[in-house]
Amino acid sequence: MLRNLGKRAKYFRETIRFHPGPTSMIYSGHATIKYVSRDQHLPEVTSRILEAVTAGFADLIFINRHPLDSLLTNWVWWRTYIRDNFQIEGISQIYKNTDDLCVDLEQNFTEFRAFAEGSSDFFAALPGPRFLSFSEFVEEAELYVHCSTLILRLEDFMFNPFVEFCKIGNVMSVDLDLRHLDLPPPKTRPYGYLTVQGKVPRFKNFIDDLSAETKRRIENMGYNV
């Protein structure tokens, strides 16, 4: 966004903030609608932003990806941060290939399940609230799907980042310089969870045992389980 929005880029901030009226500011970050979660802006903040969206003087762009891919990434991110106090940008910083991820998942599946269930034990080494359970994470995503001005899928950016970014420009009423857009695709593979479930039977069982409500929500977001 900073490379492609021209003069509007100066209004971009990596945080979430409410304005009581129209503004040129562009905010990006993580916030929850229903549940309190570690490192997420509180629902009280989000509710005021949603009121602005409903009133018509703010837009909300929600960028989504398959929840099971997010689950694996979030697990690796949080265990790395807790264990090494290091914030990663993606799984590829930790694992050379998917096989290495699968080996680690198989060996630490009890820990993975504790994270997926939102167990406070997973975050025992850190003061403060826990991160969302997987079912809560999916519910939050579905809530955003219902109230966003524009919904984008990370997988679509992998296939055609030009088309997807132009959708952002349209919502923001930005006159994009289409000849000079710098839009490398995301550095991740789409639907990586499918490979993992084929190599880690317990992960496949975890998916099969998801509640009917969680599966319904994932499918309502346009993804297969």
Record the pTM.
0.94
Instruction: List, in order, residues 6 or more apart from 184 with CB less than 8 Å away.
Output: 161
DSSP letter for each residue of 143-155: HHHHH-SEEEEHH
Query: What is the pLDDT, as a whole number, of residue 189?
Result: 83
pLDDT band, residue 202 (cuts 50/70/90): very high
Q: Residue 163 — pLDDT band, cuts 50, 70, 90?
A: very high
* Mean model confidence pLDDT for the chain: 95
* DSSP helix/strand/coil, 31: strand
Quick one: average pLDDT of 186-194? Answer: 90
CA distance 76 to 91: 7
Provide mean pLDDT across the span 87-100. Answer: 92
pLDDT for the residue numbered 90:
86
pLDDT of residue 171: 95
Query: Mean of the pLDDT values across residues 165-184?
Result: 92
With contact defined as beta carbons under 8 Å apart, do 114 and 121 qualify? yes
pLDDT tens for each residue of 3-23: 999 899 999 999 999 999 999
Q: Name the residue among 151, 167, 158 with its Cα closest to residue 4.
A: 167
206 pLDDT exceeds 90? yes
* pLDDT tens digits for range 48-82: 999 999 999 999 999 999 999 999 999 999 999 99
Radius of gyration, alpha carbons of the chain? 18
Q: What per-residue confidence (pLDDT) applies to 115? A: 98
Mean pLDDT for 141-165 is 95
Residue-level pLDDT at 130: 95
What DSSP element (H or E) covers 141?
A: helix 134-147
Per-position b or e across 158-182, b if 16+ CB within 10 A of its CB: beebeebbbebbeebebebeeeeee
82: tokens are 């807790």
Residue 114 pLDDT greater than 90, yes or no = yes
